[in-house]
C-alpha cells in the first residue's frame, strides 16, 4: 500500500511591522506598509494592525505602492512583475495586471485614477486602463531600471473640462535620463540628460511649475515646465529648432552628499522633503513671494547704498527659484530610513505637519513638523509623536524555542528577546538582551536561558520579565544549549573548545511557589580539540553528541563522558543535529548543503542527502517519528522521511535565509525564523499527501512555467501582427505576457469551442435528416443525446462558450486569445456573430473581435472564407452597438434630469426652512447665481 503523509501549510507570518522592499504610504491616520508578500495597515495612533492584504498562494514580494485619487483604491507592484489593484475597504483584489518580466519599481495614477502607469527593472513602462482592466501600450526607450513615473497635467484646465488632461508622462531611470512622453501619440517628445549618475527620484510641485530630480551622487536639480510649449506640442521656432518643454533652472544645496533616495512635496502645505542620508530627512519650507520681497528689502537696508541705486535694484531684482526654498529643519530618525510620506489628511489636534517614516529596522515612526514662528531664538525641531516597534525584532531572528505545552514561543535576536502567544500571535513580552545565538526554555517553563555571542548565559524570569542571572560561562560565543531529558542538567557548547555542564538550583525567596528563581551551578567541563558548534543529549539520556568545527561529530556516554563514536563524512562543519525520540537515529546538517542520517548503534551512515541549494542551518526530528525538518540559507523549509530517505514536502515562504527552527512538542506545527525578520507558523493539515502526486504536480508546474517563459522571450512572437512586422524595436508596443493562468484560459476556450462545435454539428445533422425524411419517418428519428456538461448547466452551445469567456479576467483575456490557433479563431468568429445577433454582452464581443482582427489581419485578408462570415457580423455588430449607444444616451439624459430635479428640490427645501416668502426666495436665488455655488447635502 502507498504510504500517505499529512500535508503542512502556511498559517500566518508575524513579527513583521514593515519590510524594506518597497515604499510606504500614510494618510494622516493609517499607514499602508509592505510586509514581504503582504501589505499591512497600521493605525499609528493606537499602534494596532487593522488589516493584512494577503492573496492566497501569491509569494512574490511587494516592491512598489501607489494610492489612487479614487477612494480606497491602491496599486501594489510585486517582484514577479505583476500589479494588483486593492480595495482597502473590502480588502480584496479588484484587478491583476501582468505585463512586466521583472519586478515593478515605479507606479503612478493619472489625475482621475482612470489610468495607471507602471515601470519596471525590465526598462519598460506600461500604461494600463483601470476601468477596462487592460493594458493600453508599452513604452520602450530607457536602458535601465525605471525609478519614478509621474503624469503631467496642465494646471490651468478647470476640473470640469473634458478631454485627456494628463496626456504627458514623465519618467526617470538609472540610465541618467529623464524622458517626457506624449501618451496620445505614444512617443517620447523630449529626452534630458538629468544627471551624471543614476536619477534616483523625482517629484513635481503641487502648482505643476517645477520638477525636482535627485541623483545617486547627492545632487538635487530643479527644472521648469513650459506649459505654453506643452499645449502647442512639437512646434519649430524661427531658428528651425523644436521648442523644449522642460528647462533646467538651478541646483538645490543639501547638507549631505549621499544618494537622494526620495523627494516629496506636501500635497497642500508649503513643504518639500528630501532624503539624502541614511537616517535623516531634510525639510525645506517654500516661501511666498511676499516673504522673499521683505527679505530682499531687509538686505538692502543693511547695505548703506543711496536711494537711487536702491530704486534701480528694486526694478531689476527677480525672485530666483533657490530663494523660494529655505532649509527649515532636519528630521533625524532612530534607524536607517527606507521611505517617508506626508500625511495627506492632517490631524486637527496638533498644529504643524505630520511626516511618516518607515525604517529599515522593522519599525514605523511619525514626526510632527511645527509651523514656522516669528521668533528667531529657538530653531524649529521635529518631535516624534507616534511609533510602532514592539510587534517585531529590530534585527534578524537568530533563535526560536517553544514551551512544553506549545502555547508560548520565544524568539531572540541581536538586542531583544520576545515572547509570543502562538494562538493569537500577539507579542506578550519584550526583554532587552545581548546578541542571542541560542535559547531554550528551562524546566517548568517559568525561565528561559539565552546563549550570547559574548559567551554569557542569561537566565530570564518570564513572569517578571527580568534578568535573574548572568553567567559568564565561556570565553567565546555560546553556539548551543540543551537540557538533559531528566531536566536536571543544562549543557552548553562554545567556540572556546569547551562543553560545560550546569545543574539547576532553585532558590525559594519566600513560601510563594511563583517566586522561585533558578540559578546555574557549574559541575563538569569537557575539553574538545576544536570549536564546539552543537551539543545534543539523546532522549534516553545515555549519550551526548558534540559537533565540532573540524566537520566531525563526537558521541560520548553522558554519565562518564567516555568516548563512544566519531561520525566522519561531512566536508564542512556540522551546524546542527538532532536525535530521534527512540534514540536510534541521529541526523546532522552541514554547511556543505548535505544532510546525513546515521545509526546510533554503530555510527554507520544510513544515507547522505543533498538537501538544500545553500548551507543547511537547522535540523529537528518530529516528535515520536523518524520524519525530520530542515531549513537552509536557500529560504526553503523541507520535510523528510528518515526511513525512506524521501523529501515529503518543500515549503517556500521566507524571502531571506532561515536561521531558526522550532518543532511542536505535539507534532502539530513547525515555526521558522528568518533574516527577513518574519516568524512563520506551518501547521499540519488534515489533507493527505502522496509522494507520487506531489512529484507530478511539481513537474507540471515546472513545465507550465517553462512554456510561459519560452513564449515571453523577446525574440519569440506568438503571432505575426502588423505592429510586430512594422516596428520590431519601436517606442510603443502591445502589452502581452503569457503566464500559466493565461495559457490555461486559452485551453479552456479551445475546449469550449470543441464541445460547442460538436454539439451544433450533431444537431445540424439531425435537423438535416428530419428535413430529408417524410413526416412519418421524421417522427421515428431520435434527437442526438445532449452533451452532459451542457445538459447539467442547461445551456445552448453558444451560451456555454460565452459563459467560459466571461469567466476569464479582463486583464488576461487578450493573452488567452493569443494562444488560440487560427482554425479556432474562425470558429470563435461564428460565435461572435451569434452573440451579436442575440445582443449578449456587446462590449465584450466587440473588444474580442477588434483584438482578433488586429492580430490575425494578414490571414483574414488572405482567406476568402472569412469574407462570408465578416459581412453579416459587421451588420449585426453595428446594429447592436447603435442600440447600446442609444440606451447609454437615454440613461445619461435621464440622470442629468434627475440631478437637476434634486438640486431644485434641495434649494427650494432649504429656502422653505429659512421661512422666506416668494419674493425673498427669488431675490436670494438671484443673489446665489452671482456667488460661488455651494452644494448643500440633504
The 3-class SS string of 518-587 reads: EEEEEEEEEECCCCEEEEEECCCCCEEEEEECCCEEEEEECCCCCEEEEEECCCCCEEEEEECCCCCEEE
924: its cell numbers: 436670494
The answer to whether the beta carbons of residues 395 and 415 sit under 8 Å apart is yes
pLDDT at position 916: 64
**Nearest in space to 169 (alpha carbons), one of 130, 135, 206, 211:** 211
pLDDT at position 512: 54
Location of C-alpha cell 520590431: 728
**Nearest in space to 721 (alpha carbons), one of 709, 739, 707, 733:** 733
Round to whole Å and give the CA distance between 112 and 110.
6
The answer to whether the beta carbons of residues 55 and 84 sit under 8 Å apart is yes
Cα dihedral value 909, 914, 916, 921, nearest 10: -50
Q: In the chain, which stretches have pLDDT less than 50?
A: 156-164, 308-310, 312-316, 718-728, 931-938
Round to whole Å and give the CA distance between 339 and 288.
28
Location of C-alpha cell 486583464: 811
839: its cell numbers: 445582443
What is the rounded radius of gyration, in angstroms, for the C-alpha atoms of the chain?
Answer: 35
Q: Return the H-helix or E-strand segment holding 336.
A: none
Q: State pLDDT tens for residues 887-922.
A: 999 999 999 999 999 988 887 777 666 666 667 766
Rounded to 5 degrees, what are φ and ψ at 25?
A: -125, 150
Phi-psi region of 399 (alpha: psi -120 to 50; beta: other; left: phi over 0): beta
Percent of the chain with pLDDT over 70: 89
Round to whole Å and give the CA distance between 490 and 212.
62
Round to whole Å and give the CA distance between 681 and 679.
7
Round to whole Å and give the CA distance between 814 and 828.
14
Query: Any bridge partners for residue 384, and if so which?
Result: 367
The three-state secondary structure class of 99 is: coil
503: its cell numbers: 545543574
Q: State pLDDT tens for residues 445-495.
A: 999 999 999 999 999 999 888 999 999 999 999 999 999 999 999 999 999
136: its cell numbers: 493600453
Number of C-alpha atoms within 13 angstroms, CB side, residue 67? 17
Round to whole Å and give the CA distance between 125 and 82.
13
pLDDT at position 872: 85
pLDDT at position 22: 94
Alpha helices in 728-787 (DSSP H): 740-772, 775-780
pLDDT at position 430: 93
The answer to whether the beta carbons of residues 518 and 504 sit under 8 Å apart is yes
Location of C-alpha cell 509592505: 34
What is the DSSP code (8-state) at residue 784?
P
Nearest 5°: the CA angle 750, 755, 761 is 120
Alpha helices in 211-353 (DSSP H): 227-232, 289-302, 307-316, 321-324
Torsion sign over Cα 242, 246, 252, 256:
negative
DSSP 3-state percent helix, strand, coil across the chain (nearest 5): 25, 40, 35
Location of C-alpha cell 529655505: 326
User: How many other C-beta atoms can be found within 10 angstroms of the C-beta atom of residue 432?
Assistant: 9
Q: State pLDDT tens for residues 846-882.
A: 888 888 888 888 888 887 777 777 888 888 888 888 9
pLDDT at position 501: 95
pLDDT at position 861: 81
Query: Any bridge partners for residue 469, and if so which?
Result: 459
**Judging by DSSP bridges, how do beta strands 38-43 and 489-494 pair with one another?**
unpaired
Q: How many residues does the chain have?
A: 938
Long-range contacts of 240-246 (CB under 8 A, 24+ apart): 244/190, 245/180, 245/189, 245/190, 246/178, 246/180, 246/190, 246/192, 246/211
Phi-psi region of 743 (alpha: psi -120 to 50; beta: other; left: phi over 0): alpha
Location of C-alpha cell 553556539: 479
pLDDT at position 771: 82
Overall pTM surpassing 0.75 (yes/no) = yes
The answer to whether the beta carbons of residues 147 and 199 sit under 8 Å apart is yes
Alpha helices in 559-671 (DSSP H): none
Query: Any bridge partners for residue 595, and if so which?
Result: 589, 609
The answer to whether the beta carbons of residues 68 and 662 sit under 8 Å apart is no
The residues, any chain, with a CB within 8 Å of residue 822's CB and separated by 6 or more, are: 856, 859
pLDDT at position 839: 85
Round to whole Å and give the CA distance between 668 and 653.
19
What is the DSSP code (8-state) at residue 786?
P
Q: In what order do the strands lie in the sheet with 585-590?
A: 574-579, 585-590, 594-599, 605-610
pLDDT at position 456: 93
The answer to whether the beta carbons of residues 104 and 123 sit under 8 Å apart is no
Give the end-to-end CA distance of the chain in Å, rounded to a whole number.
Answer: 73
The answer to whether the beta carbons of residues 566 and 578 sit under 8 Å apart is no
Torsion sign over Cα 909, 910, 911, 914:
positive
Query: Any bridge partners for residue 636, and if so which?
Result: 652
User: How many other C-beta atoms can be found within 10 angstroms of the C-beta atom of residue 555?
Assistant: 21
The answer to whether the beta carbons of residues 68 and 32 sit under 8 Å apart is no
The answer to whether the beta carbons of residues 175 and 182 sit under 8 Å apart is no
The answer to whether the beta carbons of residues 615 and 575 sit under 8 Å apart is yes
716: its cell numbers: 519569440
Amino acid at each position: 500500500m502507498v504510504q500517505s503523509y499529512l500535508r503542512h501549510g502556511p498559517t500566518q507570518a508575524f513579527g513583521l511591522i514593515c519590510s524594506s522592499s518597497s515604499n510606504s504610504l500614510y494618510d494622516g491616520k493609517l499607514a499602508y506598509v509592505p510586509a514581504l508578500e503582504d501589505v499591512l495597515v497600521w493605525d499609528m495612533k493606537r499602534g494596532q494592525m487593522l488589516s493584512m492584504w494577503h492573496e492566497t498562494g501569491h509569494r512574490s514580494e511587494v516592491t512598489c505602492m501607489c494610492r489612487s485619487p479614487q477612494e480606497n483604491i491602491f496599486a501594489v507592484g510585486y517582484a514577479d512583475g505583476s500589479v494588483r489593484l486593492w480595495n482597502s475597504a473590502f480588502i480584496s483584489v479588484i484587478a491583476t495586471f501582468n505585463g512586466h518580466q521583472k519586478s515593478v519599481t515605479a507606479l503612478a495614477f493619472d489625475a482621475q485614477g482612470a489610468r495607471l502607469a507602471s515601470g519596471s527593472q525590465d526598462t519598460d513602462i506600461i500604461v494600463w486602463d483601470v476601468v477596462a482592466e487592460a493594458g493600453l501600450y508599452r513604452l520602450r526607450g530607457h536602458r535601465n531600471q525605471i525609478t519614478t513615473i509621474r503624469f503631467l497635467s496642465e494646471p490651468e484646465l478647470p476640473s470640469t473640462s473634458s478631454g485627456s488632461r494628463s496626456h504627458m508622462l514623465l519618467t526617470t531611470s538609472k540610465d541618467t535620463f529623464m524622458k517626457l512622453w506624449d501618451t496620445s501619440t505614444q512617443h517620447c517628445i523630449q529626452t534630458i540628460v538629468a544627471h551624471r549618475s543614476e536619477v534616483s527620484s523625482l517629484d513635481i510641485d503641487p502648482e505643476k511649475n517645477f520638477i525636482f530630480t535627485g541623483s545617486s551622487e547627492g545632487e538635487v536639480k530643479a527644472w521648469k515646465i513650459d506649459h505654453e510649449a506643452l499645449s502647442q506640442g512639437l512646434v519649430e521656432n524661427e531658428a528651425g529648432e523644436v521648442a523644449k518643454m522642460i528647462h533646467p533652472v538651478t541646483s538645490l544645496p543639501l547638507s549631505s552628499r549621499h544618494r537622494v533616495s526620495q523627494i516629496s512635496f506636501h500635497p497642500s502645505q508649503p513643504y518639500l522633503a528630501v532624503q539624502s542620508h541614511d537616517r535623516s530627512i531634510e525639510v525645506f519650507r517654500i516661501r511666498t513671494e511676499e516673504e522673499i520681497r521683505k527679505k530682499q528689502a531687509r538686505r538692502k537696508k543693511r547695505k548703506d547704498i543711496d536711494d537711487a541705486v536702491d530704486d534701480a535694484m528694486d526694478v531689476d531684482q527677480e525672485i530666483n527659484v533657490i530663494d523660494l526654498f529655505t532649509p527649515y529643519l532636519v528630521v533625524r530618525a532612530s534607524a536607517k530610513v527606507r521611505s517617508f510620506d506626508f500625511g495627506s489628511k492632517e490631524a486637527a489636534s496638533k498644529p504643524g505637519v505630520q511626516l511618516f517614516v518607515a525604517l529599515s529596522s522593522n519599525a514605523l515612526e511619525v514626526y510632527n513638523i511645527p509651523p514656522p514662528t516669528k521668533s528667531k531664538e529657538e530653531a524649529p525641531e521635529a518631535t516624534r509623536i507616534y511609533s510602532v516597534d514592539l510587534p517585531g525584532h529590530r534585527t534578524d531572528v537568530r533563535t526560536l524555542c517553544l514551551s512544553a505545552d506549545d502555547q508560548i514561543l520565544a524568539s531572540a535576536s541581536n538586542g531583544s528577546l520576545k515572547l509570543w502567544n502562538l494562538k493569537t500571535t500577539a507579542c506578550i513580552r519584550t526583554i532587552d538582551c545581548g546578541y542571542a545565538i541560542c535559547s531554550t526554555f528551562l524546566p517548568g517553563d517559568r525561565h528561559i536561558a539565552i546563549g550570547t555571542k559574548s559567551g554569557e548565559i542569561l537566565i530570564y524570569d518570564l513572569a517578571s520579565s527580568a534578568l535573574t542571572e548572568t553567567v559568564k560561562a565561556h570565553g567565546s560565543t555560546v553556539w548551543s544549549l540543551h537540557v538533559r531529558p531528566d531536566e536536571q542538567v543544562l549543557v552548553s557548547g562554545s567556540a572556546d573548545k569547551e562543553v560545560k555542564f550546569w545543574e539547576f538550583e532553585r532558590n525559594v525567596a519566600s513560601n510563594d511557589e511563583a517566586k522561585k528563581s533558578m540559578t546555574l551551578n557549574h559541575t563538569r567541563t569537557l575539553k574538545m580539540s576544536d570549536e564546539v558548534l552543537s551539543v545534543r543529549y539523546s532522549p534516553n539520556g545515555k549519550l551526548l553528541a558534540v559537533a565540532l568545527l573540524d566537520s566531525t561529530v563526537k558521541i560520548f556516554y553522558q554519565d562518564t563522558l567516555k568516548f563512544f563514536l566519531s561520525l566522519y563524512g561531512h566536508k564542512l562543519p556540522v551546524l546542527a543535529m538532532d536525535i530521534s525520540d527512540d534514540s536510534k537515529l541521529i541526523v546532522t546538517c552541514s554547511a556543505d548543503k548535505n544532510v546525513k542520517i546515521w545509526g546510533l548503534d554503530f555510527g554507520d551512515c544510513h544515507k547522505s542527502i543533498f538537501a538544500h541549494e545553500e548551507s543547511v542551518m537547522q535540523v529537528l526530528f518530529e516528535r515520536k517519528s523518524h520524519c525530520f525538518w530542515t531549513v537552509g540559507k536557500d529560504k526553503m523549509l523541507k520535510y523528510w522521511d528518515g526511513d525512506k530517505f524521501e523529501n515529503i514536502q518543500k515549503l517556500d515562504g521566507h524571502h531571506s535565509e532561515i536561521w531558526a527552527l522550532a518543532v511542536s512538542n505535539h507534532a502539530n506545527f513547525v515555526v521558522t525564523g528568518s533574516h527577513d525578520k518574519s516568524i512563520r507558523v506551518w501547521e499540519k493539515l488534515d489533507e493527505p499527501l502522496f509522494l507520487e502526486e506531489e512529484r507530478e504536480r511539481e513537474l507540471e508546474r515546472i513545465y507550465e512555467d517553462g512554456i510561459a517563459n519560452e513564449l515571453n522571450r523577446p525574440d519569440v512572437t506568438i503571432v505575426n501582427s502588423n505592429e510586430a512586422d512594422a516596428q520590431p524595436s519601436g517606442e510603443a508596443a502591445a502589452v502581452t505576457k503569457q503566464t500559466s493562468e493565461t495559457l490555461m484560459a486559452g485551453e479552456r476556450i479551445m475546449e469550449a469551442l470543441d464541445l460547442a462545435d460538436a454539439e451544433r454539428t450533431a444537431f445540424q445533422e439531425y435537423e438535416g435528416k428530419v428535413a430529408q425524411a417524410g413526416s412519418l419517418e421524421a417522427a421515428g428519428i431520435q434527437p442526438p443525446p445532449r452533451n452532459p456538461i451542457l445538459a447539467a448547466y442547461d445551456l445552448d452551445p453558444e451560451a456555454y462558450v460565452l459563459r467560459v469567456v466571461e469567466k476569464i479576467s479582463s486583464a488576461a483575456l487578450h493573452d488567452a486569445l493569443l494562444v488560440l490557433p487560427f482554425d479556432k479563431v474562425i470558429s470563435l468568429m461564428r460565435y461572435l456573430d451569434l452573440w451579436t445577433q442575440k445582443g449578449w454582452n456587446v462590449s465584450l464581443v466587440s473588444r474580442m473581435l477588434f483584438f482578433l482582427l488586429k492580430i490575425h489581419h494578414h490571414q483574414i485578408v488572405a482567406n476568402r472564407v472569412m469574407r462570408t462570415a465578416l459581412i453579416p457580423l459587421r451588420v449585426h455588430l453595428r446594429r447592436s452597438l447603435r442600440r447600446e449607444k442609444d440606451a447609454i444616451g437615454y440613461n445619461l439624459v435621464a440622470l442629468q434630469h434627475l440631478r437637476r430635479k434634486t438640486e431644485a428640490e434641495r434649494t427650494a427645501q432649504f429656502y422653505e426652512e429659512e421661512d422666506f416668502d416668494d419674493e425673498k426666495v427669488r431675490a436670494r436665488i438671484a443673489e446665489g447665481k452671482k456667488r460661488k455655488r455651494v452644494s448643500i447635502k440633504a
